[in-house]
Amino acid sequence: MEKKRVVLVTGAARGLGAAIARRLGKDGFRVAVNYCHSQNLADKVAQGIIAEGGEAKAFRADVTNLDDVKAMLAEIRNTWGSVEILVNNATGPQPERPLEEYSWQDFADQIDFFIKAPVYLMQELIAPMKQARWGKVINIGSEVTENYRPIFSPYIAAKSALLGLTRTWALEFGPWNIAINSIAPGWIPTERHSDAESADLEAYRAKVPMGRQGVPEDVASAASYLAREETNFISGQQFCVNGANTF
Ligand SMILES: NC(=O)c1ccc[n+]([C@@H]2O[C@H](COP(=O)([O-])OP(=O)(O)OC[C@H]3O[C@@H](n4cnc5c(N)ncnc54)[C@H](OP(=O)(O)O)[C@@H]3O)[C@@H](O)[C@H]2O)c1
């Protein structure tokens, strides 16, 4: 790799974010491992990357809080310089209920993670990216924006809005050579799904043409591809990582 780019992966203490951070660490990026509550886990992710010869450090911030975002980006800047590749991955709880049982706050909570956080981060990062005429944003979406299902409306609405941000930002920032893409995973079991019913898991797998669920490393491979210098002309796209479950 020509230059050691600085990448920030939000919500990288566990799950898909941790796998993305590890993979980008192995690829030679300087990896800012963001966490909000789980410092021990984030430190372990960073230490694992360093143990394999990479560069990484854990940085705390609630990405839905502007003061936290500003403080974290300043800390990263003081450590390595400005973030050049942003992976918007962090998520909170994702409730599934009929519409009558949601409050507006349930919708606002999803919008906080999938719109407010990326907006806060990009409003801070866009000036240095424009100045460098280089930048990449990888938004972690979901296959549910291609394959709607009921009782998940706050999450699906917010992820759909994130896809809207991906495409409009690709248009808006293209003139500065800044590429914005989305990775849309299928259902990939992480710690969060430890209480999933085996019947639900089997029913999902039965529909996937490739006959399996993904693993976090499948998403990490896609992120690795999109983070490379050589894929800079790919922008405004959504990549589903789901074994042909959606087109
Ligand atoms: N797994 C799937 O099946 C799947 C499918 C489609 C899309 N996705 C998307 O992939 C992304 C990751 O999902 P996941 O399954 O890996 O989730 P996860 O295992 O629940 O991980 C979420 C991460 O977000 C962090 N986090 C929570 N609140 C935060 C905050 N306020 N600020 C910063 N970080 C915060 C958590 O760390 P702390 O404990 O430190 O807060 C944790 O590391 C999400 O955007 C999700 O919607 C996942």
Nearest protein Cα to ligand 1, atom 31 = 62
In the chain, % of residues over pLDDT 70: 99
Name the band, by pLDDT with cuts 50, 70 and 90, for residue 42. very high
What pairs with residue 243 in β-bridges?
Answer: none
Judged against a pLDDT cut of 60, whether residue 1 lies above it is answered with no
CATH 3.40.50.720 fits 6-240, yes or no: yes
The first and second tokens of residue 243, run together, are 């074994």
Q: How many other C-beta atoms lie within 10 A of the C-beta of residue 168?
A: 12
| Distance from residue 170's CA to the centre of ligand 1 (Å) | 24
Atom number of ligand 1 nearest to Cα 41: 40
Quick one: pLDDT at residue 2? 60
What would the mean pLDDT of 25-30 be, rounded to a whole number?
Answer: 98
Question: In sequence order, what DSSP letters do the residues of 156-182 get, joined into one string?
Answer: HHHHHHHHHHHHHHHHHHGGGTEEEEE
- For 57, the enclosing helix (H) or strand (E) is strand 55-60
Does residue 34 have its Cβ closer than 6 Å to ligand 1?
Answer: yes
Instruction: Please report, as a single letter, which amino acid is at residue 172.
Output: E
In eight-state DSSP terms, residue 102 is -
In eight-state DSSP terms, residue 114 is I
The pLDDT tens digits of the residues spanning 204-234 come to 999 999 999 999 999 999 999 999 999 999 9
Sheet with 55-60: strands ordered across: 55-60, 30-35, 6-9, 85-88, 135-140, 178-185, 238-241
| Distance from residue 64's CA to the centre of ligand 1 (Å) | 13
Domain definitions of the chain by residue range: 6-240
Does residue 110 have its Cβ closer than 6 Å to ligand 1?
Answer: no
The pLDDT tens digits of the residues spanning 149-206 come to 999 999 999 999 999 999 999 999 999 999 999 999 999 999 999 999 999 999 999 9
Contact 16, 190 (CB under 8 A): yes
- Higher confidence at residue 3 or residue 121? 121
Prediction pTM value: 0.98
| Distance from residue 159's CA to the centre of ligand 1 (Å) | 13
Judged against a pLDDT cut of 90, whether residue 4 lies above it is answered with yes
What is the helix, strand, coil percentage profile of the chain, to 5? 50, 15, 35
Kindly list the catalytic residues.
155
- If one residue of 65, 69, 91, 183 were mutated to test the ligand 1 pocket, choosing by the most ligand atoms within 8 A of its CB, it would be 91
